[in-house]
Chain A
């Protein structure tokens, strides 16, 4: 376990004990709620983790590097952003998936674009958003989020 994870465990453990001391019942109730949420996701988590193995076995790193590497950065970034906009998987399972692509040689620029549009732009939830906030709000918010996802991604590429 690296230092970062270990310190997260430390902080979380301390907060957890403090919460237990303060109000045992309240803390247990919220754990029950969080457990329900986890239960809904566990199938997807296990599925994605084993999918990563398949991807790494059958798609050679050179191919990942070619498609998502530095060579055709702009196109791969826009496509990643589009894929992120239409996919509806919890961000929770997206991080290991994207991490495995980056480990295999993908550039971080399309990775960031995908992660950002995945959560901020929602084509699938668009009808719901339109119903609650109106067409104009939903359309402009999603369009702006898409553009800024690209800007964030390209800026990250320049800095890192």
Chain B
């Protein structure tokens, strides 16, 4: 129960406000519900669309292909790829951090990483549908155009101010010295892919993947390398 309240602080506060209101000023409470009704109906009209769009994008946009082919791409092609990767993604901006970090290691430019981060944050496709619904297609379209232009300028300015040496890349550890696995919990979404593929090494506890301590030999290190690449949020690395 306490867990549920903790997870839904806003909902709890609003519910309490309504309970209080229904007792103290029932007419105001009814008015509030009536005022909310319009937005609830609008939300119900658009939510299934966003839900299904997110699912389809997740399933059919070949994100792995985009990410893996990134290293060599530069120029206009790299910019377009970056916008696409950011626009067709799900989750909050910090979910993009480990993926961008990995792309930097693979040789992506700072400008393109900034484009991915920014596009990921502001111009995701399902969100554009939601924005058009509540603020109008013209509003959405104009903000999209201005945002894309701004992101391009920001990405250029970033390359002026920040050089690759400023970014803590962390040197490639020699694999033979790997002693174990490090899982960044703040990024793990508990999808369970690592557990499914290597139940002897991973276990998902409380929606976070955990590493089962064990010593590593060369075969295992190679197998683990494949898992590290497969992790959808790039939360796994050697220690």
User: A interface vs B, CB < 8 Å?
Assistant: 1, 4-5, 8-9, 12, 15-16, 19, 22-23, 26-27, 29-31, 33-35, 37-38, 43-54, 56-58, 90-92, 95-96, 98-100, 102, 108, 111-112, 115-116, 119-120, 122, 125, 128-129, 132-134, 136-137, 140-141, 144-145, 148, 151-152, 155-156, 159-160
12 residue pairs A–B, Cβ–Cβ below 8 Å: A8-B46, A16-B56, A22-B60, A44-B11, A53-B33, A95-B135, A133-B101, A137-B158, A141-B114, A141-B158, A145-B154, A152-B150
- Contact between B92 and A90, CB atoms less than 8 A apart: yes
List of B residues within 8 angstroms of A115 by Cβ: 131, 143
Q: A37-B91, A128-B97, A159-B142 known; 16 other A-B pairs, CB under 8 Å?
A: A8-B129, A8-B133, A9-B48, A30-B56, A34-B51, A50-B36, A53-B33, A54-B14, A56-B32, A91-B130, A96-B134, A119-B121, A119-B122, A132-B168, A136-B162, A145-B154
The one of B10, B32, B92, B146 that contacts A156, using a Cβ cutoff of 8 Å: B146
- Contact between A92 and B59, CB atoms less than 8 A apart: no
List of A residues within 8 angstroms of B55 by Cβ: 27, 30-31, 33-34
List of A residues within 8 angstroms of B98 by Cβ: 132
List of A residues within 8 angstroms of B50 by Cβ: 92
Q: Does B39 contact A (CB under 8 A)?
A: yes
**Main secondary structure on chain A at its contact with chain B?**
helix
Q: How far is the CA of A66 from the CA of B47 in the complex (A)?
A: 32
Given contacts A57-B32, A120-B122, contact A43 B11 (CB under 8 A): yes
Most chain B CB within 10 A, of A35, A90, A99, A102, is at A99
Given contacts A16-B52, A152-B147, contact A145 B139 (CB under 8 A): no
